[in-house]
Homo-oligomer: A and B are copies of this chain.
Amino acid sequence: MSSESHRPTQEDVAREAGVSRAVVSYVINGRSGGNVRISEKTRRRVLEVVQRLGYQPNVNARSLRTRRSQLIAVMVPDLTNPFYPLMIRGAQAVAQRAAYDILVYDCDDQPARERSFVQAMLGRMVDGVILVAFHLKAEDVSLLTRAGIEVVGVGGELRPLGVDVVVPGEREAVRELMRHLIDRGHRSIAHLAGPPDTPPGRVRLEAYRQALAEAGIPDDESLVRYGTFDREHVADLVGSLFSSSRHGAHPTALFAANDVMAIEAIRTLARLGWQVPADVAVCGFDNIPEAEVVMPPLTTVDQDAEAIGRRAAELLLERLRAEAPLPPREVKIACRLVLRESA
């Protein structure tokens, strides 16, 4: 029992084992290569002392020396969005195996934080970063890459910046969803779109239009309403699509750009006296927990956040292990259609 909280160092181990500090370092790091060979007997003795003393390397000293912090930062727009905890879990599962710890930066939907967190990452000297950022400029990201920090982006926004990206197959998923509706006979399908100045809003709208075109259904701009990804305005928008005066010719299906809007739409429709899915089929996007509980349960799309996190971490680790610089890569993670009762 050592006096005080004196954590044993390589020095202590070396003394106890009767070898030099360098030998301990070699044994610890399994430095079998090079012109240095440690005898099996010595190796064992050192390891035994390491055990006995409970020696643990000092990460700070190691980092100072190797310029590797064994730290990965994950920056997300909104930690309370259930997508991100899952993504983080996926990333952590991969990182943990390679002895990396995960630093979480939650922007809480405040754009200014993205930049200030970039500064924090720089200061913390993380080895790599998984970024989900909507407001970062190319120069912010290049701050990271120039500092030798590897960057992987999640979502298409960062693609133009020349970093690895992991993107969910949103287009394909919307296509599949629309096909499902069309197969069930729907021809008049409305869309509750997200803000067209956000990438997801734009992508989902485009994919919606494309799916209609593929099915030979003429584009009808009057079936599209623009919302804000939250509950606000949904009641009005749905009202304008399904006002009772239009009971004659109304859309028979509604595709909302996310589940929050879809759920609010279902409630609004119920208030207006429409049956879902009998009168109107409704589907969303994201597969949030509420989607399973709403009545009727919501047909939607699951992005497999965990897989996205895993792949992002894998790309990052590959880069961290790579000798030479790698070209920017793009990985697409397929979404999964979740068929429930609402459509």
Binding site for B on A (CB under 8 A): 5, 7, 56-61, 63-64, 69, 79-80, 82, 84-86, 88-89, 92, 96, 101-106, 108, 120, 122-125, 146-148, 263, 288-290, 292-295
Contacts and interface: CB of A to CB of B under 8 A. Distances in A.
B89 A80 contact: yes
Contacts of A124: 59, 101
As for how many copies of this chain the complex holds, the number is 2
Q: Which 3 pairs of residues, A with B, have the shortest CB-CB distance?
A: A60-B63, A79-B85, A60-B64
A123 B64 contact: no
A120 to B, nearest CB: 6
A88 to B, nearest CB: 6
Given A60-B60, A79-B85, A80-B89, 17 more contacts: A59-B123, A60-B63, A60-B69, A60-B125, A79-B88, A84-B85, A85-B85, A88-B104, A88-B106, A92-B105, A101-B124, A288-B289, A289-B289, A290-B292, A290-B293, A293-B294, A294-B294
Contacts of A7: 147
B92 A125 contact: no
23 contacts: A5-B147, A59-B124, A59-B125, A79-B85, A79-B88, A82-B82, A88-B104, A89-B106, A92-B104, A92-B106, A96-B120, A101-B103, A101-B105, A101-B120, A102-B105, A103-B103, A103-B104, A263-B293, A289-B290, A290-B292, A293-B293, A293-B294, A295-B295
